[in-house]
Amino acid sequence: MQSESVAEETPLEPTPESFELLEQQHHHHHQRRSSRCRKRLLHLGDGLFSLFVITPLVVAHWRGTWGWMDLNGPHFPGWLCFLLGATLHTTFALLREPLNAALSLSRDAPKSRWSSVKRWLVNRMYTYAFSMGCLMHWRGGWNVMELYFAFNLLPALSISAICLVGLVLAKSVRNLLAPPFIILTDRKEAMFSFPTRFRMKVNICGLFNRLAAVPGPR
């Protein structure tokens, strides 16, 4: 008698609620699959766009500016380009945090057309100045090595070996990678941030303020 009552209380036929639950689960599963496919397609499209559109434009910018400097070599000597490029690199690295603090907008900050235009102009000027600093640093280094070592095989191999050992010791060999061996997709990041070896945040303005607050010898 007990087994019959249990069988009567637990019917084998599905109820409308179970049908609705199964339909909802199937719908959510389909949404997750379509979302994953969409993300994969966007990721693939971003990679192809970076590889076949952005990379050639970057190479054209570098090669064109480099060639223009070569055509006007007396105005862009090797040592000057190298020192100026290194100075710009160091300056931009030290000014990352102050620039982000001065020009970044908080979520609750009121948006105005002038602030948007100012951020756009500063961003474009900063990007172009940074690209010129990188280009002069590279070109200056090449010209200095050509000036002192010419095109001889042994000095070239020696310099390459010394630099490679330094990169290995600093655990920075991955900096030798470039497209198409490595592709970085776009992400929403701070305007003036760029990665450094030890990922340290240095606020040069705060450092100067602390140094100024230190009392001098009496």
Write the DSSP string, 169-210: HTT-GGGG--TTS---------TT----SS-----HHHHHHH
For the segment 148-182, what is each residue's pLDDT rounded down to a tens digit?
887 788 888 888 899 999 989 988 888 787 666 66
* Domain limits, the chain: 20-75, 77-212
Neighbours of 96 (CB within 10 A): 19
- Report the chain's terminal Cα–Cα distance, integer Å: 103
**H/E segment holding residue 19:** helix 16-49
Instruction: Tell me how far apart the alpha carbons of residues 171 and 197 are, in angstroms, rounded to a whole number.
Output: 9
Instruction: Tell me how far apart the alpha carbons of residues 206 and 42 are, in angstroms, rounded to a whole number.
Output: 41
- 31 burial (CB, 10 Å; 0-12 / 13-18 / 19+) is exposed
Does 11 have pLDDT greater than 70? Answer: no
Instruction: Tell me how far apart the alpha carbons of residues 38 and 32 are, in angstroms, rounded to a whole number.
Output: 10
- Percentage of the chain beyond pLDDT 90 is 22
Q: Given this model, what pLDDT does residue 108 score?
A: 55
For the segment 78-131, what is each residue's pLDDT rounded down to a tens digit?
999 999 999 998 888 888 878 777 776 655 566 778 878 888 888 889 889 999
**pLDDT band at residue 202 under the 50/70/90 scheme:** low
Give residue for tokens 């940074």: 130
Q: Are 183 and 50 in contact (CB under 8 A)?
A: yes
Neighbouring residues of 105: CB distance < 8 A, sequence distance ≥ 6: 111, 115, 119
Q: Given this model, what pLDDT does residue 151 score?
A: 79
Encoded tokens for 42: 């966007």
